[in-house]
Amino acid sequence: MARGWESKAVESQQDEALRDRQQQSKRTLTAAEKTALTRRHMLELARARTLLDLENATQPGHRTMLERALAALDDQLRPTETNNDR
């Protein structure tokens, strides 16, 4: 059951990434915009991986570490969301 949800989430992320690339390709990005976009994608991938690891974690200490990592990634993603909304 979890596999079906994961594959739908991955498909949704891929569709969103494709839409983003298509929108971005309509204009030329500056070097700073490219760097910011790459950083955001890396953070999103790291968050997805951390979330998956958290779902599979069984040890309390490991879960705590992953929850903290997830919170830190969310904190790093938050400023990029406001920049992309402009």
The residue ranges of every structural domain in the chain are 2-84
pTM: 0.61
Q: What is the pLDDT along the chain (86 residues), one digit of tens a residue?
A: 455 556 777 778 888 888 877 776 667 878 898 999 999 999 999 999 999 999 999 999 999 999 999 999 999 999 866 555 54
Instruction: Sort 76 into a burial class: Cβ within 10 Å, 0-12 / 13-18 / 19+.
Output: middle
CA-to-CA dists, residue 53 to 4, 11, 15, 66, 85, angstroms: 17, 19, 23, 8, 29
Angle subtended at Cα 69 by Cα 63 and Cα 74, rounded to the nearest 5 degrees: 125
Both tokens of 7, joined, read 């594959």
